């Protein structure tokens, strides 16, 4: 195939991909690859939308939020299509910081695909960036640089037809194209449990109700959490009656399980249990959370590993959210 024919074919593929792209944003403006562009001052509720096309030869690309200080990068969002994961990092005084990685998979499979368009939202809260891909929340990245230091954006790598715009949201994620999974005491959930997962609880949460979670811990787990909360948005922050957060490779801290609640706009006093508490990387687990008269109790493989006194009325709970380094097999709710 001649060079001209190859370019024509690539153009046809891109046009077809654009016709099939359900997240097209007509208000975005063109952005040249590797060209830094100034942006307005960022603050909580600010959002940056980036769309682009990944050609057949795409290996990796990056979206960088640049700082006033030359060479500093507040957010380096770097999908590596050839490796099957996404890196997040920051660069200060010429040195990269500790990178964070995760797999770019969603309910419909890998979200960054060659010969297809993507839609990325970078949303600013008080403490971190929240990032969605194709209007599904994907990950977060805690601020390492103050928002006021950020003044530009740059997109690099194997990407074409890049466009962007800056806006504000009062609720994040912006929208949900598919209904949330629903959990009741009539039937368990065993399909579409790709983590992170947000589940609508249609049964009342009261004394005697228990949640069962069957899954498998990843081989090299960092952490995961289970929230019993009111509301499904990530921003504004939901009220959380129970936050259960096993931590394994968490900086220099020893393994532990953290329990807490979120109310009145802040985390309350956390309770911490040290040790692995019978979690085995790469192994199946059976987790039960029981709502009792005075507290939630947490059971792992039929052994009680924690108790959390009620600080909020359990009846507010209408959502189960699970995020982190686990694979899920089954979710269920019942009474005892």
Give pLDDT, residue 298. Answer: 96
Q: Are 4 and 127 in contact (CB under 8 A)?
A: no
- Do 86 and 59 lie in one domain? The reply is yes
Furthest CA-CA distance within the chain: 75
193-226 confidence digits (pLDDT tens): 988 899 999 999 999 999 999 999 998 888 899 9
Report how far apart, in Å, the C-alpha atoms of 172 and of each of 94, 135, 236, 320 are.
33, 10, 7, 17
Please state whether the predicted TM-score (pTM) of the whole model is above 0.95: no
Within 8 A by CB and 6+ apart from 93, the residues are 71, 72
Domain-embedded: residue 189: yes
Domain-embedded: residue 174: no
Weakest-pLDDT range from 14-18, 98-102, 211-215, 238-242: 98-102
Domain-embedded: residue 175: no
Band (1; pLDDT cuts 50, 70, 90): low
8-state DSSP, 19 = H
246-268 confidence digits (pLDDT tens): 998 766 678 899 999 999 989 99
Q: Which of 110, 145, 168 is the last residue of a domain?
A: 168
- Do 15 and 106 lie in one domain? The reply is yes
Domain-embedded: residue 44: yes
Give pLDDT, residue 251. Answer: 62
- Do 136 and 195 lie in one domain? The reply is no
In total, how many domains does the chain have? 2
- Do 232 and 256 lie in one domain? The reply is yes
Residue 175 pLDDT greater than 90, yes or no? no
Give long-range contacts, CB 8 A cutoff, 24+ apart: 27-32.
27/165, 28/163, 28/164, 28/165, 29/163, 29/164, 29/165, 30/162, 30/163, 31/153, 31/155, 31/162, 31/163, 31/164, 32/162
Tokens of 177: 């194209």
- Do 316 and 186 lie in one domain? The reply is yes
- Do 194 and 80 lie in one domain? The reply is no
Cis peptide before 173 (omega within 30 of 0): yes
- Do 312 and 194 lie in one domain? The reply is yes
Domain-embedded: residue 48: yes
Tokens of 77: 């969002």
- Do 18 and 152 lie in one domain? The reply is yes
- Do 66 and 99 lie in one domain? The reply is yes
Among 250, 249, 233, 231, CA closest to 241: 231
- Do 21 and 84 lie in one domain? The reply is yes
- Do 207 and 245 lie in one domain? The reply is yes
Q: What is the mean pLDDT of the chain?
A: 91
101-130 confidence digits (pLDDT tens): 876 654 445 679 999 999 999 999 999 999
Q: Which of 113, 141, 168 is the last residue of a domain?
A: 168
- Do 117 and 202 lie in one domain? The reply is no
Residue 49 pLDDT greater than 80, yes or no? yes
Cα angle 269, 286, 248 (rounded to 5 degrees) comes to 50
Burial of 122 (0-12, 13-18, 19+ CB in 10 A): buried
Bridge-based pairing of strands 197-201 and 181-183 is: parallel
For residues 141 and 144, what is the distance between their CA atoms, to the nearest angstrom?
9
User: Average pLDDT in the 143-156 region?
Assistant: 97
Number of Cβ within 10 Å of residue 48's Cβ equals 23
CATH code: domain of residue 284: 2.60.120.200
Q: Where are the alpha helices (DSSP H) in the chain?
A: 3-19
Identify the residue whose tokens are 């790469």. Answer: 282
Give pLDDT, residue 264. Answer: 93
Residue 50, domain extent: 3-168
Pairwise pLDDT comparison (178 vs 252), residue with the higher score: 252
Domain-embedded: residue 253: yes
Q: Which of 168, 190, 209 is the last residue of a domain?
A: 168
Q: Is 8 helix (H, G, I), strand (E, B) or coil?
A: helix
32-45 confidence digits (pLDDT tens): 999 999 999 999 99
Residue 180 pLDDT greater than 80, yes or no? yes
What's the full length of the chain, in residues? Answer: 336
Domain-embedded: residue 19: yes
Residue 4 pLDDT greater than 80, yes or no? no
Q: Are 240 and 251 in contact (CB under 8 A)?
A: no
Residue 7 pLDDT greater than 70, yes or no? no
Weakest-pLDDT range from 61-70, 105-114, 121-130, 236-245: 105-114
């Amino acid at each position: 195939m001649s060079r001209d024919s190859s370019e024509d074919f690539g153009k046809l593929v891109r046009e077809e991909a654009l016709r099939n792209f359900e997240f097209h944003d007509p208000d975005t403006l063109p952005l040249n690859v590797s060209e830094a562009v100034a942006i307005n001052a960022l603050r909580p509720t600010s959002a940056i939308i980036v769309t682009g096309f990944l050609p057949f030869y795409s290996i990796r690309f990056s979206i960088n939020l640049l700082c006033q200080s030359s060479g500093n990068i507040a957010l380096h969002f770097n999908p590596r299509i050839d490796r099957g994961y996404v890196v997040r990092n920051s660069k200060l005084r010429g040195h990269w910081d500790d990178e964070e990685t995760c797999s770019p998979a969603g309910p419909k499979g890998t979200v960054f695909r060659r010969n297809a368009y993507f839609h990325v939202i970078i949303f600013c809260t008080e403490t971190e960036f929240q990032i969605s891909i194709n209007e599904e929340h994907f990950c977060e990245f805690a601020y390492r640089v103050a928002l006021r230091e950020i003044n530009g954006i740059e997109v690099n790598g194997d990407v074409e037809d890049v466009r962007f715009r800056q806006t504000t949201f009062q609720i994040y994620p912006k929208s949900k194209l598919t209904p949330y999974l629903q959990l009741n005491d009539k039937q368990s959930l065993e399909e579409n449990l790709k983590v992170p997962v947000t589940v609508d609880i249609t049964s009342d949460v009261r004394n005697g109700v228990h949640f069962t979670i069957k899954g498998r811990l990843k081989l090299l787990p960092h952490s995961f959490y289970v929230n019993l909360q009111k509301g499904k948005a990530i921003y504004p922050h939901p009220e959380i009656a129970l936050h259960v957060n096993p931590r394994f490779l968490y900086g220099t801290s020893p393994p532990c399980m953290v329990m807490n609640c979120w109310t009145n706009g802040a985390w309350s006093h956390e309770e911490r249990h040290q040790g692995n508490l019978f979690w085995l990387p790469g192994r199946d687990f059976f987790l039960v959370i029981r709502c009792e008269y005075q507290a939630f109790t947490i059971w792992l493989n039929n052994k009680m590993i924690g108790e959390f006194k009620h600080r909020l009325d359990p009846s507010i709970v209408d959502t189960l959210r699970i995020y982190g380094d686990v694979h899920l097999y089954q979710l269920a709710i019942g009474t005892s």
